[in-house]
Amino acid sequence: MTDPVLVTCASGKLGREVVRQLRAAGYRVRCASRNPERLEDGVRFDWTNPLSWRPAVMGAPQVFLTARPLDIAAAAILPDFIDLCREAGVQHVIFSSALGTDVQPAGPLGLVESYLRHSGLTWSILRPNFFMENFSHGWLLPDIAAHGTISLPAGSGRTSFISVRDVAAVAVAVFSEPDLRGHAYDLTGDDPMSHTAVAAALTRASQRPVNYHPIEPSQMREKGRRAGMPGGQLEYLMVMYRQVRAGKSAKTYNTVAKLLGRKPTSFEAFAEENAAAWRVSADAVRS
Ligand SMILES: NC(=O)c1ccc[n+]([C@@H]2O[C@H](COP(=O)([O-])OP(=O)(O)OC[C@H]3O[C@@H](n4cnc5c(N)ncnc54)[C@H](OP(=O)(O)O)[C@@H]3O)[C@@H](O)[C@H]2O)c1
Protein backbone atom coordinates (compact mmCIF):
# COMPACT_ATOMS: atom_id res chain seq x y z
CA MET A 1 0.00 0.00 0.00
CA THR A 2 1.39 3.44 -0.94
CA ASP A 3 1.86 6.24 1.56
CA PRO A 4 -0.96 8.80 1.60
CA VAL A 5 -0.96 12.31 0.21
CA LEU A 6 -2.04 14.78 2.91
CA VAL A 7 -4.69 17.22 1.67
CA THR A 8 -5.34 20.28 3.86
CA CYS A 9 -8.74 22.02 3.72
CA ALA A 10 -9.94 18.66 2.37
CA SER A 11 -13.62 19.43 3.03
CA GLY A 12 -13.61 22.66 1.02
CA LYS A 13 -14.61 23.21 -2.60
CA LEU A 14 -11.09 22.77 -3.90
CA GLY A 15 -9.90 20.21 -1.35
CA ARG A 16 -12.85 17.85 -1.98
CA GLU A 17 -12.11 17.82 -5.69
CA VAL A 18 -8.37 17.29 -5.16
CA VAL A 19 -9.21 14.32 -2.91
CA ARG A 20 -11.65 12.90 -5.47
CA GLN A 21 -9.24 13.17 -8.37
CA LEU A 22 -6.24 11.87 -6.40
CA ARG A 23 -8.26 8.78 -5.45
CA ALA A 24 -9.38 8.33 -9.04
CA ALA A 25 -5.71 8.41 -10.06
CA GLY A 26 -4.94 5.63 -7.56
CA TYR A 27 -3.48 7.64 -4.67
CA ARG A 28 -4.26 7.06 -1.02
CA VAL A 29 -5.32 10.30 0.62
CA ARG A 30 -5.35 11.62 4.18
CA CYS A 31 -8.02 14.30 4.58
CA ALA A 32 -7.21 17.08 7.06
CA SER A 33 -10.19 18.76 8.72
CA ARG A 34 -11.41 20.14 12.03
CA ASN A 35 -14.19 17.56 11.70
CA PRO A 36 -12.39 14.45 10.43
CA GLU A 37 -15.30 12.16 11.31
CA ARG A 38 -17.21 13.67 8.38
CA LEU A 39 -14.59 12.54 5.85
CA GLU A 40 -13.32 9.20 4.63
CA ASP A 41 -9.72 8.80 5.89
CA GLY A 42 -10.06 12.03 7.85
CA VAL A 43 -7.43 13.27 10.28
CA ARG A 44 -8.04 15.99 12.87
CA PHE A 45 -6.27 19.15 11.81
CA ASP A 46 -6.69 22.77 12.82
CA TRP A 47 -4.56 25.62 11.54
CA THR A 48 -5.05 27.36 14.90
CA ASN A 49 -3.76 24.33 16.86
CA PRO A 50 -0.17 23.40 15.86
CA LEU A 51 -0.35 20.30 18.10
CA SER A 52 -2.77 18.80 15.57
CA TRP A 53 -0.31 19.14 12.66
CA ARG A 54 2.32 16.43 13.34
CA PRO A 55 0.01 13.37 13.35
CA ALA A 56 -1.43 14.56 10.04
CA VAL A 57 1.93 15.01 8.35
CA MET A 58 3.80 11.92 9.60
CA GLY A 59 4.30 9.35 6.84
CA ALA A 60 2.91 11.55 4.06
CA PRO A 61 5.44 11.94 1.21
CA GLN A 62 3.46 14.69 -0.50
CA VAL A 63 1.21 17.47 0.82
CA PHE A 64 -1.46 19.64 -0.80
CA LEU A 65 -1.26 22.83 1.22
CA THR A 66 -3.90 25.58 1.33
CA ALA A 67 -4.46 28.38 3.80
CA ARG A 68 -7.92 29.03 5.22
CA PRO A 69 -9.86 31.29 2.86
CA LEU A 70 -9.05 35.00 3.36
CA ASP A 71 -6.53 34.12 6.09
CA ILE A 72 -4.64 37.32 6.82
CA ALA A 73 -2.59 35.35 9.39
CA ALA A 74 -1.38 32.78 6.82
CA ALA A 75 2.19 34.10 6.82
CA ALA A 76 2.37 33.74 10.60
CA ILE A 77 1.06 30.15 10.57
CA LEU A 78 2.00 28.24 7.42
CA PRO A 79 5.81 28.69 7.63
CA ASP A 80 5.89 26.66 10.88
CA PHE A 81 3.91 23.96 9.13
CA ILE A 82 6.34 24.02 6.19
CA ASP A 83 9.23 23.57 8.66
CA LEU A 84 7.39 20.62 10.17
CA CYS A 85 6.95 19.09 6.71
CA ARG A 86 10.72 19.27 6.15
CA GLU A 87 11.46 17.72 9.58
CA ALA A 88 8.91 14.96 8.95
CA GLY A 89 10.56 13.97 5.65
CA VAL A 90 7.87 15.24 3.28
CA GLN A 91 9.30 15.15 -0.25
CA HIS A 92 7.06 17.57 -2.12
CA VAL A 93 4.57 20.29 -1.16
CA ILE A 94 2.09 21.84 -3.57
CA PHE A 95 0.93 25.19 -2.17
CA SER A 96 -2.34 26.38 -3.64
CA SER A 97 -2.13 30.15 -3.47
CA ALA A 98 -4.17 32.64 -5.54
CA LEU A 99 -3.86 34.47 -8.85
CA GLY A 100 -2.00 37.77 -8.59
CA THR A 101 0.04 36.76 -5.56
CA ASP A 102 3.24 37.26 -7.55
CA VAL A 103 2.50 40.99 -7.84
CA GLN A 104 1.79 41.23 -4.09
CA PRO A 105 4.86 39.45 -2.70
CA ALA A 106 4.44 41.10 0.72
CA GLY A 107 0.83 39.89 1.12
CA PRO A 108 0.06 36.84 3.30
CA LEU A 109 0.10 34.31 0.45
CA GLY A 110 3.12 35.93 -1.23
CA LEU A 111 5.12 35.53 1.97
CA VAL A 112 4.09 31.87 2.24
CA GLU A 113 5.09 31.26 -1.39
CA SER A 114 8.49 32.79 -0.75
CA TYR A 115 8.99 30.81 2.47
CA LEU A 116 8.16 27.54 0.71
CA ARG A 117 10.48 28.27 -2.23
CA HIS A 118 13.39 28.78 0.17
CA SER A 119 12.46 25.97 2.56
CA GLY A 120 14.69 23.31 1.06
CA LEU A 121 11.62 21.21 0.24
CA THR A 122 10.65 20.34 -3.29
CA TRP A 123 7.81 22.75 -3.98
CA SER A 124 5.17 23.64 -6.54
CA ILE A 125 2.76 26.56 -6.49
CA LEU A 126 -0.72 26.83 -8.03
CA ARG A 127 -2.28 30.28 -8.40
CA PRO A 128 -5.94 29.87 -9.34
CA ASN A 129 -8.29 32.73 -10.16
CA PHE A 130 -11.76 32.95 -8.51
CA PHE A 131 -13.53 29.58 -8.55
CA MET A 132 -16.69 29.06 -10.62
CA GLU A 133 -17.94 26.93 -7.72
CA ASN A 134 -18.32 30.04 -5.49
CA PHE A 135 -21.65 30.39 -7.30
CA SER A 136 -22.79 26.77 -6.95
CA HIS A 137 -21.38 25.59 -3.62
CA GLY A 138 -19.87 28.65 -1.98
CA TRP A 139 -20.68 31.86 -0.20
CA LEU A 140 -22.55 33.42 -3.14
CA LEU A 141 -25.13 30.63 -3.34
CA PRO A 142 -27.47 31.66 -0.47
CA ASP A 143 -28.21 35.08 -2.07
CA ILE A 144 -28.79 33.48 -5.45
CA ALA A 145 -31.14 30.89 -3.96
CA ALA A 146 -33.04 33.34 -1.75
CA HIS A 147 -33.27 36.38 -4.03
CA GLY A 148 -31.94 35.41 -7.45
CA THR A 149 -29.19 38.00 -7.02
CA ILE A 150 -25.44 38.29 -7.09
CA SER A 151 -24.54 41.45 -5.14
CA LEU A 152 -20.85 42.29 -5.33
CA PRO A 153 -18.62 45.36 -5.66
CA ALA A 154 -17.23 43.93 -8.89
CA GLY A 155 -18.37 46.81 -11.13
CA SER A 156 -18.20 45.73 -14.74
CA GLY A 157 -14.79 44.11 -14.31
CA ARG A 158 -14.37 40.74 -15.95
CA THR A 159 -12.94 37.61 -14.31
CA SER A 160 -11.40 34.54 -15.95
CA PHE A 161 -13.10 32.14 -13.49
CA ILE A 162 -11.69 28.64 -13.20
CA SER A 163 -13.38 25.44 -12.09
CA VAL A 164 -11.93 23.60 -9.09
CA ARG A 165 -11.99 20.55 -11.38
CA ASP A 166 -9.28 22.07 -13.52
CA VAL A 167 -7.25 23.22 -10.52
CA ALA A 168 -7.46 19.70 -9.03
CA ALA A 169 -6.52 18.10 -12.35
CA VAL A 170 -3.41 20.28 -12.49
CA ALA A 171 -2.61 19.34 -8.87
CA VAL A 172 -2.80 15.62 -9.72
CA ALA A 173 -0.58 16.14 -12.78
CA VAL A 174 2.01 17.98 -10.67
CA PHE A 175 1.87 15.33 -7.92
CA SER A 176 2.38 12.61 -10.53
CA GLU A 177 5.03 14.10 -12.81
CA PRO A 178 8.33 15.04 -11.11
CA ASP A 179 9.37 17.19 -14.10
CA LEU A 180 6.46 19.54 -13.39
CA ARG A 181 7.67 20.35 -9.86
CA GLY A 182 9.53 23.50 -8.88
CA HIS A 183 7.27 25.88 -10.83
CA ALA A 184 4.46 28.34 -10.10
CA TYR A 185 1.37 27.88 -12.29
CA ASP A 186 -1.12 30.70 -12.92
CA LEU A 187 -4.51 29.05 -13.48
CA THR A 188 -7.48 30.69 -15.20
CA GLY A 189 -10.34 29.91 -17.49
CA ASP A 190 -9.97 31.20 -21.03
CA ASP A 191 -13.09 33.38 -21.27
CA PRO A 192 -13.15 36.39 -18.91
CA MET A 193 -16.75 37.24 -17.91
CA SER A 194 -18.44 40.14 -16.19
CA HIS A 195 -20.84 39.30 -13.37
CA THR A 196 -23.68 40.41 -15.65
CA ALA A 197 -22.63 37.66 -18.06
CA VAL A 198 -22.33 35.21 -15.16
CA ALA A 199 -25.89 36.00 -14.04
CA ALA A 200 -27.11 35.49 -17.61
CA ALA A 201 -25.35 32.10 -17.79
CA LEU A 202 -26.92 31.00 -14.49
CA THR A 203 -30.34 32.16 -15.74
CA ARG A 204 -30.00 30.23 -19.01
CA ALA A 205 -28.84 27.06 -17.27
CA SER A 206 -31.35 27.08 -14.39
CA GLN A 207 -34.32 28.67 -16.19
CA ARG A 208 -34.64 30.88 -13.12
CA PRO A 209 -33.94 34.63 -13.29
CA VAL A 210 -30.62 35.55 -11.71
CA ASN A 211 -29.45 39.19 -11.75
CA TYR A 212 -26.21 40.91 -10.95
CA HIS A 213 -26.50 43.97 -8.67
CA PRO A 214 -23.25 45.90 -8.61
CA ILE A 215 -22.85 47.37 -5.14
CA GLU A 216 -20.51 49.97 -3.68
CA PRO A 217 -17.55 48.78 -1.61
CA SER A 218 -19.15 50.52 1.42
CA GLN A 219 -22.28 48.37 0.99
CA MET A 220 -20.15 45.23 0.89
CA ARG A 221 -18.35 46.33 4.06
CA GLU A 222 -21.69 46.88 5.80
CA LYS A 223 -23.01 43.52 4.62
CA GLY A 224 -19.85 41.75 5.82
CA ARG A 225 -20.00 43.49 9.20
CA ARG A 226 -23.65 42.51 9.64
CA ALA A 227 -22.76 38.90 8.81
CA GLY A 228 -20.05 38.99 11.52
CA MET A 229 -17.12 38.71 9.16
CA PRO A 230 -13.84 39.57 10.93
CA GLY A 231 -12.46 42.96 9.85
CA GLY A 232 -9.22 41.59 8.42
CA GLN A 233 -11.00 39.07 6.21
CA LEU A 234 -13.41 41.72 5.04
CA GLU A 235 -10.59 44.06 4.04
CA TYR A 236 -8.89 41.16 2.20
CA LEU A 237 -12.12 40.62 0.25
CA MET A 238 -12.36 44.35 -0.52
CA VAL A 239 -8.84 44.28 -1.99
CA MET A 240 -9.79 41.30 -4.17
CA TYR A 241 -12.84 43.06 -5.60
CA ARG A 242 -10.83 46.25 -6.17
CA GLN A 243 -8.64 44.07 -8.42
CA VAL A 244 -11.76 42.78 -10.19
CA ARG A 245 -13.11 46.32 -10.79
CA ALA A 246 -9.72 47.35 -12.14
CA GLY A 247 -9.84 44.50 -14.66
CA LYS A 248 -6.87 42.69 -13.11
CA SER A 249 -8.78 39.42 -12.66
CA ALA A 250 -9.51 39.21 -16.39
CA LYS A 251 -6.04 38.01 -17.36
CA THR A 252 -5.90 34.59 -18.95
CA TYR A 253 -3.11 32.03 -19.01
CA ASN A 254 -2.94 28.90 -21.13
CA THR A 255 -1.50 26.78 -18.30
CA VAL A 256 -4.44 24.37 -18.14
CA ALA A 257 -4.19 23.62 -21.86
CA LYS A 258 -0.41 23.23 -21.66
CA LEU A 259 -0.47 20.86 -18.70
CA LEU A 260 -3.66 18.92 -19.38
CA GLY A 261 -3.81 19.00 -23.18
CA ARG A 262 -7.39 20.30 -23.16
CA LYS A 263 -9.22 23.58 -22.79
CA PRO A 264 -10.27 24.69 -19.31
CA THR A 265 -13.92 24.09 -18.30
CA SER A 266 -16.12 26.81 -19.83
CA PHE A 267 -18.51 28.78 -17.63
CA GLU A 268 -21.41 27.57 -19.77
CA ALA A 269 -20.48 23.92 -19.19
CA PHE A 270 -20.07 24.56 -15.46
CA ALA A 271 -23.48 26.28 -15.33
CA GLU A 272 -25.22 23.45 -17.21
CA GLU A 273 -23.76 20.86 -14.90
CA ASN A 274 -24.68 22.74 -11.72
CA ALA A 275 -28.07 24.14 -12.80
CA ALA A 276 -29.87 22.31 -9.97
CA ALA A 277 -27.97 24.37 -7.40
CA TRP A 278 -29.77 27.58 -8.47
CA ARG A 279 -33.21 25.97 -8.66
CA VAL A 280 -33.30 25.05 -4.96
CA SER A 281 -35.17 27.20 -2.44
CA ALA A 282 -33.46 29.44 0.08
CA ASP A 283 -34.59 27.12 2.90
CA ALA A 284 -32.89 24.15 1.30
CA VAL A 285 -29.61 26.08 1.07
CA ARG A 286 -29.78 27.09 4.75
CA SER A 287 -30.51 23.60 6.06
N1 LIG B 1 -12.91 30.35 -3.58
C2 LIG B 1 -12.14 30.95 -4.50
O3 LIG B 1 -12.61 31.59 -5.45
C4 LIG B 1 -10.63 30.85 -4.38
C5 LIG B 1 -9.83 31.31 -5.44
C6 LIG B 1 -8.45 31.19 -5.34
C7 LIG B 1 -7.87 30.63 -4.19
N8 LIG B 1 -8.68 30.21 -3.17
C9 LIG B 1 -8.04 29.61 -2.00
O10 LIG B 1 -8.23 28.18 -2.05
C11 LIG B 1 -8.29 27.67 -0.73
C12 LIG B 1 -9.53 26.80 -0.58
O13 LIG B 1 -10.66 27.61 -0.80
P14 LIG B 1 -12.14 26.99 -0.92
O15 LIG B 1 -12.97 28.07 -1.52
O16 LIG B 1 -12.04 25.64 -1.56
O17 LIG B 1 -12.51 26.80 0.61
P18 LIG B 1 -13.97 26.58 1.23
O19 LIG B 1 -14.81 25.78 0.31
O20 LIG B 1 -14.49 27.91 1.70
O21 LIG B 1 -13.65 25.69 2.50
C22 LIG B 1 -12.92 26.22 3.58
C23 LIG B 1 -11.92 25.16 4.03
O24 LIG B 1 -11.08 25.72 5.03
C25 LIG B 1 -10.95 24.78 6.07
N26 LIG B 1 -10.68 25.48 7.34
C27 LIG B 1 -11.32 26.57 7.81
N28 LIG B 1 -10.80 26.89 9.02
C29 LIG B 1 -9.84 25.96 9.29
C30 LIG B 1 -8.96 25.75 10.38
N31 LIG B 1 -8.94 26.55 11.47
N32 LIG B 1 -8.10 24.71 10.34
C33 LIG B 1 -8.10 23.86 9.27
N34 LIG B 1 -8.90 24.01 8.19
C35 LIG B 1 -9.76 25.05 8.21
C36 LIG B 1 -12.28 24.06 6.12
O37 LIG B 1 -12.08 22.79 6.70
P38 LIG B 1 -12.91 22.18 7.95
O39 LIG B 1 -14.12 23.05 8.18
O40 LIG B 1 -13.26 20.79 7.50
O41 LIG B 1 -11.93 22.18 9.06
C42 LIG B 1 -12.61 23.94 4.63
O43 LIG B 1 -12.02 22.77 4.09
C44 LIG B 1 -8.22 28.87 0.21
O45 LIG B 1 -6.90 29.05 0.62
C46 LIG B 1 -8.66 30.03 -0.67
O47 LIG B 1 -8.12 31.26 -0.22
C48 LIG B 1 -10.03 30.29 -3.25
For the segment 148-186, what is each residue's pLDDT rounded down to a tens digit? 999 999 999 999 999 999 999 999 999 999 999 999 999
Q: What are the pLDDT digits (tens) for 50-73?
A: 999 999 999 999 999 999 999 999
**CB under 6 Å to ligand 1: residues?**
9, 11-15, 33-35, 45-48, 66-69, 96, 98, 128, 130-131, 134, 138
Of all residues in the chain, the percent with pLDDT exceeding 90 is 94
Per-residue pLDDT reduced to its tens digit, 87-121: 999 999 999 999 999 988 999 999 999 999 999 99
Q: Which atom of ligand 1 is nearest to the CA of 47?
A: 32
Distance 60 CA to ligand 1 centre (A): 21
Quote the ligand 1 centre to 241 CA distance (angstroms): 18
Where in the sequence of the chain do the CATH 3.40.50.720 domains occur? Answer: 5-128
Three-state secondary structure readout of the chain: CCCCEEECCCCCHHHHHHHHHHHHCCCCEEEEECCHHHCCCEEECECCEHHHHHHHHCCCCEEEEECCCCCCCHHHHHHHHHHHHHHCCCCEEEEECCCCHHHCCCCHHHHHHHHHHCCCCEEEEEEECCEHHHCCCCCCHHHHHHHCEEEECCCCCCECCECHHHHHHHHHHHHHCHHHCCCEEEECCCCCECHHHHHHHHHHHHCCCCEEEECCHHHHHHHHHHCCCCHHHHHHHHHHHHHHHCCCCCCCCCHHHHHHCCCCCCHHHHHHHCHHHHHCCHHHHHC
Residues of the chain with CATH 3.90.25.10: 132-160+190-250+265-287
CATH of 132-160+190-250+265-287, one of 1.20.58.220, 3.20.20.80, 3.40.1710.10, 3.90.25.10: 3.90.25.10
Mutate to test the pocket of ligand 1, among 6, 7, 8, 9 (most ligand atoms within 8 A of CB): 9
The CATH number that domain 5-128 falls under is 3.40.50.720
The atom number, within ligand 1, closest to the CA of 8 reads 34
Residue nearest to atom 1 of ligand 1 (CA): 131
Whole-model pTM? 0.96
